[in-house]
Structure 1
């Protein structure tokens, strides 16, 4: 058991132009009793992200290059404690929730843990909302640890993911590196993941996902359980018939994202971050 002076976990937060959202997250993470070591890796920022981070009792790295992957690596080198919790800067989760996730790993063969995902719908357009209604109902979305913006890893888990090739879909690669018996969704911890609010921003986000999936496939990092098959959609409609009119919207967004990703894939561009601004309003 950790002594009171030891951090309960090290928290790594890569942040690129997140001045609007970072303070909200750090307010929660730095709340008493403040037993988290927090490393914020500002990368290639053109706004006041680093200045916001320096208002809090956290370690701030100000990196010149806008690269989430390099930010994660740099923050990992600066962090000192285990378990290690990786957080997207635009999500909302409490310090108590992070500590609970940290306690869930490292025993009973569990090396990866994530919270229950909540997608607030305030300001989300009807079309975007219909897409997320179907997406959230997919079996692999409900059980998978990708797309939650929060992952807690044991020391052994961190060593395992360090050996993985660097890919755009880092959360997918992390999740797929562990067998189902080694990972867990902690239902009594919630994270708010703010969805894209508009069609254009949703397609941008799906373009990023499509590029990440192609890269993960080429690296052999994505298993069949992390894919959406026609049978999955049929199962969703069979279980929840009210979603049937929304499936065409889901398919249209998916296809639009894949088509938009093709040019980048042909160029071998797996570093450009397709960012949606609407979720950060």
Structure 2
């Protein structure tokens, strides 16, 4: 187990980073501005398949991390593979709580401490904060996002995209991460709704900009969810129960421009000309 100042590390933050030199500084600055976390924190950046200076950028935060009494570890993998990055990061992690953080996400100061506290239990548990979707200036993207925020996925349960966490007993439910597209969905559905905890702290998650990129990323997510349903049908039973969302017609009536943008993206998802075989499909 890793140590911070001779005290066993309680929380490990894993950040997979594939050519994230431009985004990683904002992520790490916000992380290092977090409130104190009992037991200490180790930050593990897994630079995988990078052709930029991601690893060097991460190491540039060594002094700031040490000044907080935390640890920073930078792993470099030759292959660009997020699931492989999770596996490598977990193998190096010493925390009793594992927090999985995307490099383009900005956490609020209370989030890490709240996740660590919520998961300080022997019972298998999963947790995330409240996403604040940041939207660029593109009009279509703004309209699409307005309607997407009203969908059941966003209004019920614990979505967990961009950052999610679990304790060791929760993580013990499966072995290595499988080769799947939607890692966040796989993690979330390995826990029942009652085992998924939402903490009040927020985090900023950026929506991709532009029609074609929205289609690309959302189609990838659809394929990823369908893949899990096909390969792990037992997990689908752990999805949030239906209900508790306003009817589509009412939401469409209240914001027709947003509904139209949402429908346009959904309709385009199945157009062959916009299909992609890129398993990353980050849209940026």
Q: Verify same fold: TM over 0.5.
A: yes
Partner of 1:172: 185
Choose which of 34, 43, 46 in structure 2 pairs with 1:38: 43
Please state which structure has a larger fraction of its residues in helix. Answer: 1
Q: Is the 8 A contact 2:124 2:169 kept in 1?
A: no
Which residue of the other structure, out of 213, 220, 226, is the alignment partner of 1:208?
220
Q: TM-score, normalised by structure 1?
A: 0.83
The C-alpha deviation readout for 1:117-170, integer Å capped at 9, x for no partner, is 10123x331111111111111122222434531111011111114366431101
Match of 1:116 in 2: 130
For 1:53, the equivalent position in structure 2 comes to: 58
Ranges in structure 1 where 5+ consecutive residues have no aligned partner: none
Q: Could you tell me which of 222, 231, 236 is aligned with 1:223? A: 236
Give the equivalent residue in structure 1 for 2:206: 194
Q: Secondary structure at the match of 1:193?
A: strand
Structure 2: runs of 5+ lacking an equivalent:
63-71
Distance in structure 2 (CA, Å) of the matches to 1:237 and 1:254? 16
Q: What TM-score do the two structures reach when normalised by structure 2?
A: 0.83
- Secondary structure at the counterpart of residue 160 of structure 1: coil
Distance 2:267 2:94 in 1: 43
Question: Residue 38 of structure 1 aligns to a residue in which SS?
Answer: strand
Q: Deviations over 1:176-235 (max 9, x none)?
A: 111111002212x101001112112211211221221231121135627859x9x99971
Measured at CA, do residues 257 and 232 of structure 1 come closer, stay the same or move farther in structure 2, by a change above 3 Å?
farther
Q: CA RMSD in A?
A: 3.0
- Give the match for residue 19 of structure 2: 17
TM-aligned CA distance change 1:149 to 1:7, over 3 Å: same
- C-alpha deviation, 1:95, in angstroms: 5.3
- For the residues of structure 2 that align with 1:197 and 1:160, how far apart are their CA atoms? 36
1:38-67 deviation line (CA, Å, top 9, x unaligned)? 111111111111110111231111111011
Q: Is the 8 A contact 1:14 1:72 kept in 2?
A: yes
Q: How many angstroms apart in 1 are the aligned matches of 2:15 and 2:108?
A: 14
Equivalent pair of 1:83/1:154 in contact (CA under 8 Å):
yes
- The one of 108, 112, 115 aligned to 1:98: 112
Q: Would you say the 8 A contact 2:252–2:258 is kept in 1? A: no
CA shift in 2, pair 1:3/1:60, >3 Å: closer
